Structure formats: structure tokens, C-alpha cells
Amino acid sequence: MAALLLLPLLFFSLMSTEGVGQNVVPKSVYVFGDSLADVGNNNHLVTILKANFPHNGVDFAGGKATGRYCNGKNAADFLAEKLGLLSPPPYLAINSSPNNSQLFLNGVNFASGGAGVLDSTNKGECLSLNKQIDYFSTAYVSMVEEIGAVQAHSHLSSSIFAFLIGSNDIFAFPKNSKATPLQFVGSLISTLQLQLKKMYNIGARKFVFIGTGPLGCCPAQRKQSKSGDCDASANAVSNLYNQAAASLLQDMKSQFNDMSYSFFNTSLALLELINDSTNYGFTETKAACCGLGNLNAQVACTPVSALCSDRKNHLFWDLYHPTEAAAAILISDAVYGTSPLVYPLNVRQLSVL
Ligand SMILES: *[C@@H]1O[C@H](CO)[C@@H](O)[C@H](O)[C@H]1NC(C)=O
Ligand SMILES: *[C@@H]1O[C@H](CO)[C@@H](O)[C@H](O)[C@H]1NC(C)=O
Ligand SMILES: *[C@@H]1O[C@H](CO)[C@@H](O)[C@H](O)[C@H]1NC(C)=O
């Protein structure tokens, strides 16, 4: 009798620990964004915005330049890895494959270097966020054909939708614009709202929003100051955008109660890395690793640029992008961190909901 009673209890405890255990992974990850997350889409475009040449990829498997704007793995790679998944392939590398609908089910990366919330940002040189969402919508139709509407809907509900977007729009905002930063951010957010709602309508339920960093602290902006200081106005616009994006997600959550999200405050996380750099192993937080001139930021990362010898102690890879070492720490914070870095859930919590 006692044994019979114990069995269901044992089952129950096994099942409940499985809910938070290591083996529980989301179905798939779908990534949308810019060069912080591009894993090779731009290789397939006719564009000036490419990274498929050295010294990019110098620390990637085989030392290969894959189209990532980084010495090694980027934020999209780490996000998938920390969730126990393979980094999803670039959409443009798999969309014409004969079994593309099966491949789409395993996760897709739509991110494209130069992309913005606005279609006008680097127009013609990248896949804008609207274009990325159009591609996702097409991919979803194939998934439905493959496994049926009910299964496809269930697949999306348990998958993660990550967004790393906004930096290029902010960089393109002219300092002498007639619009105030608040008006400008308002136009970005009203566009982003339509885009995220469209994703919800297609079936996305778990959103990860990686906010923009302290953009004024990237080498491209610091080099404009004699003392290499951060550009306070760029950081302020980034903060406004992040606050508005965080409120947008909160509003969406109150409107759609089956939607959940993680907001990651990249600005806060990166400023903490800069402030406390030596604790994290960074001895160079201002200059780019790959480049030329003042702060290695006069010239982009090209095969003829200088390459720093220790990529692990540099926060920035090139004019705009973090090194692999910095991206790993940032995404680790997003996946496992706590408020105020990431809220209301971290990505790990979101993934096991
Ligand atoms: C898709 O096709 C490729 C090559 O034909 C094959 O290597 C791969 O295993 C297939 N993937 C799936 C998910 O069926
Ligand atoms: C992110 O962190 C910055 C710096 O501490 C803070 O000023 C800002 O309000 C935070 N933004 C959001 C949306 O949490
Ligand atoms: C910067 O670091 C110092 C010392 O580690 C710490 O006391 C301070 O709170 C930090 N400031 C910020 C803004 O993170």
C-alpha cells in the first residue's frame, strides 16, 4: 500500500523537476536584428555591409569569416547555445533548400547587418526588420504545410523570438534633426509596435528583446572626442529607446495574457562591464581590436587593419561591435541574470514557461 502511494509521488516529483531541469529546451529560436546577430544573411545580398572577410572570424571555428561582425561567435550564437540549441542558420542560406520547411522548424536567423526598425535605415543594403518579418511569415506558411496549423501554432508558442534591433536607426538619427529625440524615438516605437504585433499575430508568444547598448561608448563615437569619452547624447537616445521598448512590451503583455517576454538592458550591462572591466578580464574598453588610427576607430575592420593580439581583453571588436568575449558575458546576463539587468523574466525562465 505504502509503495503504491509512493509511486505517484515519485512520478510527480520527477515531472516537476523536469520542468526546470537542464533537458528542457525551447522548441527553436528565431532571431531578428542587425549586425549584432547576423550569422551570414548579408553574404547573400549585394551590399556594402559585409563582414565575410578577415580579420572577422579570426577566433571562429577554423578561423573562418562567416559574415559575423565579430572575431568569433556573436550574440545570436550565444543565445542559442545557452538555451541548449544550435545557432540557427541564416534564412538566406536555407530558404531555397528542398527541405526548407523542415529546416525552418529548427530555428532561423533573419538578422542582417545594417538593419533597422525603419525601412529607411540603410535602405537597399540590408534586410530591414519589416523584410525579416515578411520572410518569417513566408517560412511560417511552409511550416504549416509541413506539420499542419495546430502543430505549427504549438511549435511557435514554445519557441523563442529574439530581437536585437534599433542601434542603426539611432546612429542614423541626425544630430541637427528637426525632430527631438523623444519624437524620433516615438516614431521608432510606433513602427516597432506594429512589427511586434504582427509577430504575435503570426504566433510568436515568447519575446526576447535585447535593448540597444550605450551607443555613445562604441569606438566609432568615442573617437569623436579628444579624450575618448562616451557621446552622452547617443547614450541618452539609446536610453529613451530602451525605456519605450520596455513599456511597449509591458503594454503588449497586459493586452495579450498568453504573451511573455524578457527585456535585457544592454546599456546597463555594458556600462557595468566598462566600469568594472578588470573584474571581467577587460583591460581595453575604449579602442577597437581590429581597425586603424585613433582608438583603432578611424578605419573599419578589413584585412589590412591592425589586429590586437589579445581579443579576450578587448571589449570592442571593431567600430561598433563587441568582441566574442563581451558578447558571451552580455548574453549570459540576459539568460541567467536578474532585474534590473533583465526583467520581468530572464531568458532561461522565459524558455521553460
Ligand atoms: C535537409 O536536407 C539536407 C540536404 O539534403 C540534409 O543534410 C538535412 O539533414 C535535411 N534536414 C532535415 C531537417 O531534414
Ligand atoms: C537601463 O539602465 C540604464 C542605466 O542604469 C537606466 O538609466 C535605464 O532606465 C534602464 N532602462 C530600462 C528600460 O530598464
Ligand atoms: C562602478 O564600480 C564601482 C567599484 O566597483 C562601484 O562602487 C560603482 O557602484 C559602480 N558604478 C556603476 C554605475 O556601476
Identify whether 344 is preceded by a cis peptide bond (ω within 30 of 0).
Answer: yes
Q: Is 284 exposed, middle or buried (0-12, 13-18, 19+ CB in 10 A)?
A: middle
Asked whether the predicted pLDDT for residue 11 surpasses 60, the reply is no
Residues facing 288 on adjacent strands? 316
* Residue 1 confidence (pLDDT): 39
Give 116-153 pLDDT, tens digit per residue. 999 999 999 999 999 999 999 999 999 999 999 999 99
Among the ranges given (18-27, 134-143, 286-295, 319-328), the one the predictor scored with the smallest mean pLDDT: 18-27
- Protein residue with its CA nearest to atom 8 in ligand 2: 239
In whole angstroms, give the CA distance from residue 180 to residue 190: 15
Fold of 2-351: Rossmann fold (3.40.50)
Split at pLDDT 50, 70, 90, the class of 23 is very low
Split at pLDDT 50, 70, 90, the class of 24 is low
* Residue 175 confidence (pLDDT): 85
In whole angstroms, give the CA distance from residue 205 to residue 157: 5
Q: What is the percentage of the chain residues whose pLDDT exceeds 90?
A: 92
Residues facing 263 on adjacent strands? 209, 343
* Residue 111 confidence (pLDDT): 98
- Protein residue with its CA nearest to atom 14 in ligand 1: 102
* Residue 134 confidence (pLDDT): 98
* DSSP-derived secondary structure letter, 341: T
Q: Is 272 exposed, middle or buried (0-12, 13-18, 19+ CB in 10 A)?
A: middle
**Helices (DSSP H) in the chain: which residue ranges?**
2-18, 75-82, 91-94, 100-105, 129-147, 149-157, 167-172, 181-202, 219-222, 232-255, 266-275, 324-336, 347-351
Tell me the whole-structure pTM to 2 decimals: 0.92
Judged by its nearest atom, the ligand closest to the C-alpha of residue 279 is 3
* Residue 194 confidence (pLDDT): 98
Distance 271 CA to ligand 3 centre (A): 9
Give 175-225 pLDDT, tens digit per residue. 889 999 999 999 999 999 999 999 999 999 999 999 999 999 999 999 999
In whole angstroms, give the CA distance from residue 281 to residue 323: 13
Q: Any idea which residue has 508558442 for its cell?
A: 157
Distance 99 CA to ligand 1 centre (A): 6
Asked whether the predicted pLDDT for residue 93 surpasses 90, the reply is yes
Distance 98 CA to ligand 1 centre (A): 8
Is 102 a pocket residue for ligand 1 (Cβ < 6 Å)?
A: yes
Residue-averaged pLDDT of the chain: 93
For residue 265, give the ligand 2 atom closest to its CA: 1
* Residue 15 confidence (pLDDT): 39
Ramachandran class of 228: left when φ > 0, alpha when ψ lies in -120 to 50, beta otherwise: left
* Residue 320 confidence (pLDDT): 98
Q: Do strands 306-307 and 290-291 pair parallel, antiparallel, or not at all (unpaired)?
A: antiparallel
* Ligand 3 pocket residues where CB is under 6 Å: 272, 275-276
DSSP letter for each residue of 209-258: EE----GGGSHHHHTTSTT----HHHHHHHHHHHHHHHHHHHHHHHH-TT
Residue numbers annotated as active site:
35, 318, 321
Contact indicator for 291, 297 with CB cutoff of 8 Å: yes
* Residue 25 confidence (pLDDT): 61
* Residue 7 confidence (pLDDT): 43
Asked whether the predicted pLDDT for residue 4 surpasses 60, the reply is no
Asked whether the predicted pLDDT for residue 13 surpasses 60, the reply is no
Asked whether the predicted pLDDT for residue 83 surpasses 50, the reply is yes
SS (H, E, C) 97-123: CCCHHHHHHCCEECCCCCCCCCCCCCC
Asked whether the predicted pLDDT for residue 342 surpasses 50, the reply is yes
**Residue-wise over 167-190: b if at least 16 C-beta within 10 A, else e?**
bbbbbebeeeeeeebeebbeebbe
- Here the cell at position 299 is 578605419
Q: Residue ranges of the domains in the chain?
A: 2-351
Split at pLDDT 50, 70, 90, the class of 27 is confident
